[in-house]
Amino acid sequence: MTNLAMNELLWTAPEEIFLQEPDLFPKAITCIKDIRLFIQIHRTMRRTSTSQATHAGIRASEIDIVNKWITKESSRGQDPGISACTTSNKNFSR
């Protein structure tokens, strides 16, 4: 299944909820197009795995190393400029 196909499935419920109860969403989401911009499968899976690792007691520095590798893979081998020695995890900001 492609990322686009998974995104289409992922967007179904939030879009339906947004049409019925738009006040349940953050102010940054003002239309269906915003849902498709902010909610995407690759980001959702990464954030979920980061949260699970944190709750399992894995150190933020170890999580950062894995996230750096994923980012480098996504940038086709180019250094994304993220330090593997980072001690704070920047992936938790909303």
pLDDT at 88 (0 to 100): 42
pLDDT at 41 (0 to 100): 77
Confidence of residue 87 (pLDDT cuts 50, 70, 90): very low
Query: What does the pLDDT average to over 21-48?
Result: 86
Residues 6+ apart with CB under 8 A from 90: 64
pLDDT at 35 (0 to 100): 92
28 pLDDT higher than 70: yes
